[in-house]
Amino acid sequence: MEIKSFTLKDVELDERTFTGYAAGYGNEDSDGDIIMRGAFAESIANDFPRKKIKILWQHNSSEPIGLPLEMSEDEKGLYVKGKISKTERGDEAMELLRDGVIDSMSVGFMIPKDGYEYNDDGKRMITKGRLMEFSLVTFPANEQAVVQSVKEVSEREIERVLREAGCSRTIAKSIVANGVKGLRDAEREAKELMDLINELKGLV
């Protein structure tokens, strides 16, 4: 399987998604190859809708971390939007993306016998490849493969939505801090407080 890498940039934060170019077209990568526009058109049309293209961690097939939500080709390269799954490795990947430690992507694909040709300079021009996966990687082979944005819901945004939905500030903060368990704890505390108030009323 062929592996080609690209660098990410412009990280911002919402919803465990990221966008960028998984492959760059028309430029020579560090392996001396040039991926041509349209090389992954068949994979986008046939494999992407069937969820056959995975997002991996560092090209490790035993560590899938998500699925692409969008894939398209333009003059620059293979543009993708991916969603990172809520797993231990996925959480690590999101943290490294947010901090800018990981800022690159890389594609893994198979080249058929008729999927390449050589130009006058002897460089291999890849015209067709079956895309198997793209990965978040530490070091890219192609400087055009970049992560442009990373989105993750902030605690403040979650609290705002909960408040707009009718939750009290206390319950909203508890959910943000502790998840659903926080809501249950807050509800239990509220019930205990109401029971105490009713008891006091009965003594008056």
Q: Report DSSP letters for 75-119, one per residue.
A: SSEEEEEEEE-SSHHHHHHHHHHHHTS--EEEEEEE--TTSEEE-
**Do 118 and 83 share a structural domain?**
yes
The secondary element (H helix, E strand) that includes residue 160 is helix 155-164
**Do 76 and 24 share a structural domain?**
yes
Please name the residues in contact with 51: beta carbons below 8 A apart, sequence gap of 6 or more. 67
**Do 85 and 13 share a structural domain?**
yes
* Domain of 181, in residue numbers: 155-203
CA distance 22 to 77: 8
**Do 96 and 53 share a structural domain?**
yes
Q: What pTM, to 2 d.p., does this model score?
A: 0.68
Is 152 designated active site?
no
Query: pLDDT digits over 124-149, tens only?
Result: 999 999 999 999 998 766 666 667 55
Place of tokens 């895309």: 131
Candidate list 43, 104, 106, 174, residue with the active-site label:
106
How high is the pLDDT of residue 82? 93
**Do 85 and 57 share a structural domain?**
yes
Is 59 designated active site?
yes
CA distance 135 to 55: 5
**CA dihedral defined by 94, 95, 98, 102, rounded to 10 degrees?**
-80
Q: Which of 67, 73, 62 is nearest to 23 (CA)?
A: 73
CA distance 95 to 92: 5
How high is the pLDDT of residue 191? 62
**Do 180 and 100 share a structural domain?**
no
**Do 141 and 55 share a structural domain?**
yes
**Do 128 and 172 share a structural domain?**
no
> Strand 17-24 vs strand 77-84: parallel, antiparallel, or unpaired?
antiparallel
Average pLDDT over residues 44-62: 95
The number of folded domains in the chain is 2
Is 106 designated active site?
yes
**Do 97 and 45 share a structural domain?**
yes
Candidate list 59, 104, 135, 174, residue with the active-site label:
59
